[in-house]
Amino acid sequence: MLLRRLWALDDGDAFGRCIAVLSSHTQPVYSVAYNPSGASLASGSKDKSVKLWDLGGAEGVAVCTCTLIRHAATVWAVAFSPNGSQLASCAGDGSIQLWSLRAGGTAVASAALAGHAGHVSAIAYNPRGLQLVSSGEDMSMRVWM
């Protein structure tokens, strides 16, 4: 089992300190993103999954609340919308998946975006959450509304 660490960076501590170890993925993790509230995060992995993590417990405790599987290849990036209601993930199979987040740390697939030729390597929401931009090995960036 692979372990991922969560670090606290305090002003007085130049190197930070590990406050949680997250272990659930079965392959390397390539992307992590905090929910805007800071109470949860998402991770994307070579195991083709996206995992949601609840960080609201005691220090040192992070709980995987949901495993999302829709991609057929490595998940290269994950990004939360600015209001925290949606998560986007992209993968080596050329897919972009949008997830509607639910109470209790779960999510449901809400849309699949297609258009890149080859793997999609990065995604980001604009500050208002009205657009999503993606980039991939086809040397293009696409803006989605």
Q: Domain-by-domain residue ranges, the chain?
A: 27-144
Question: How confident is the model at residue 2, as a pLDDT?
Answer: 47
CA angle 6, 11, 17 (to 5 degrees): 30
Ranking 15-19, 35-39, 66-70, 102-106 by mean pLDDT, the lowest is: 15-19
Model confidence over 42-99: pLDDT tens digits?
999 999 999 999 987 766 678 899 999 999 999 999 999 999 999 999 999 999 999 9
pLDDT beyond 70 at 15:
no
SS3 of 137, please? coil
Question: How confident is the model at residue 13, as a pLDDT?
Answer: 56
pLDDT beyond 50 at 1:
no
Residue 103 makes CB contacts below 8 A (sequence gap 6+) with none
CATH superfamily of 27-144: YVTN repeat-like/Quinoprotein amine dehydrogenase (2.130.10.10)
| pTM tops 0.75, yes or no | yes
Model confidence over 94-134: pLDDT tens digits?
999 999 999 989 999 999 999 999 999 999 999 999 999 99
Beta strands in the chain (DSSP E): 4-8, 17-22, 29-34, 40-45, 49-54, 63-69, 75-80, 86-91, 96-102, 106-113, 120-125, 132-136, 141-144
Q: Classify residue 114 by its DSSP letter.
A: -
